[in-house]
A = this chain, B = another copy of it.
Amino acid sequence: MPAAKMTGDAFAALATRGVPYVGQLGCTVERFEHGRVDVRLPCRDLLLRPGGTICGPAMMALADITLYGVVLSMVGPVELAVTADFNIHFLRKPRPGDLIARGRCLKLGRSLVVGEVSIVPDRRADAPADPAATPPEPRPVAHVIATYALPPSAPTYDAPPSDALRPGHGTDGASGDRAT
């Protein structure tokens, strides 16, 4: 498997740069390989819903960030990669505690990337009495499949502004259009 096209730290910075609503989630990148990215969502009061568990919209944001990481791990720091469609199934009520999103790529095309995310409770939350034993992978609390659209000539973060790359284009193709 090829190496990731950027570092997890660089991804973490890019993903939250200038997006405070996402940045305040306090996510940490636990794995960042080519096409495989794990992101931790720490349990905090800001994200709780009645019952003491993390609210649905926070899980959606977690999955969106994770899949953005999956895309960037394969194509590099393409800021214009945007979510086209996003489908989530909520499976179980998460117990109070951190959540881990495990993202992987299902298909890397020239213009579309399809990825899958399984959100599971942090297994450390239910560590067995015997500390030597490895707890089993918890059952997922949510499953996501989504598509990201890549710009025609995937510019890297240091590239000139996309407007310069797309002369004479209309509204639908405006830079940053989420589903061009």
Question: What is the interface of chain A, defined by CB distance below 8 A to chain B?
Answer: 17-22, 24, 45-51, 53, 55-58, 60-61, 64, 79, 82-93, 106-112, 114, 116, 139-143, 145, 147, 149, 152, 169, 171-180
Contacts and interface: CB of A to CB of B under 8 A. Distances in A.
Contacts of A90: 82-86, 178-179
Assembly stoichiometry (copies): 4
A61 B111 CA distance: 26
Nearest to A88: B86
Nearest to A68: B56
Contact of A173 (B110, B116, B145, B147): B110
A52 to B, nearest CB: 10
A106 to B, nearest CB: 6
